[in-house]
Structure 1
């Protein structure tokens, strides 16, 4: 939050500059209109109307402050408008245009500028992203262990293992597959998935921790680096196969 505040000082400066510019332009228009009104109307103006005009719009600076208060809840803009309403349509229209532009356009532009800058500054750094990812993976690992544990058995060493039949029994339950699918783990071919793990461990059973780690790695969609890795391995296997065929031909 402190970084967002400190990093938005430049936006504060330019937003204030734009607000002051708009206020100054409308203040000049209103004060000039009041001066023309006092000159043209002369003694026909009521003392009550003159008092209101001098109270809210005695000078350009005070007019600027009155306009700013009218749009920031410091002053009800109806009171400021009633003081100008007696001066004719020009002053009334100028004031209403100011209120409309300021509340509809200016404030929204200022708000969007700060929100955009705050969103950029609020992005987590690399350490925060790594910590968040580690905590998420740890939570998913614990949940998956609790999910697979009812179908696992313990071996002689006390380690939890799961066989192909146990895994297929679990996959036959719709709630089990739905639980995995919601967490981004989609195991379409249970038998192939099990044999992939079994070949790594060269056993007919897979320990529970290895199964859970494999599921966590499968979470989500394949990334570009995953596809590039598969493509590289396929090209490497193709090159090794061609070299093997060349050696066999020479031997024959």
Structure 2
């Protein structure tokens, strides 16, 4: 009977957490929260573990994650708040997170209305002259071997002729843990200009800023990146102060 009560309590807490997280996302295909404790520990405000896993989470700027897993260390919570549906930790807890973004996820975000506004009206210098660039279409390819390829069709407003450009880079982690860094290995195209390549990569870097993945009560910092064939795997450290409530 005690085990049954414990399971029911865990399920109730987990369901509250799932509803809270879902309310903070633009869209979600599936979210599962597994909270482990027992009635005595819950009264004392102790939780043995929390594991959050989700598929198809859409964050800010139409940024979709194929899946995410967040594993949180044993924590102490405010039991009265938990009863009222607000799972609030008494102290921020460390957590480990793994996020997977597929090549399709990155291209979906890169073709969003938000990113299209960022890729139009880019101001750069070409041959010593200031020009305005409109990137008409951009794609991201993840061929594996920790490489990332970006390709785009663009026009120069001062010379309205469609041109193509592509570049290959290796992603790494910036020192602050918020943004990725990209080391350009090669670039080619018509009217090739490294400033244009950097301008396009800068938009990708801004899109993948870890602050775009934060939700109320949870913040993430990059720890390691893996550009695998067809997907980008992000290993992150997390600070969790609470499970979001509705």
Shared fold (TM-score, shorter chain, > 0.5):
no
Larger RCO (CA within 8 A; separation ≥ 6): 2
Larger Rg: 1
TM-score, normalised by the number of residues in structure 1: 0.23
TM-score, normalised by the number of residues in structure 2: 0.23
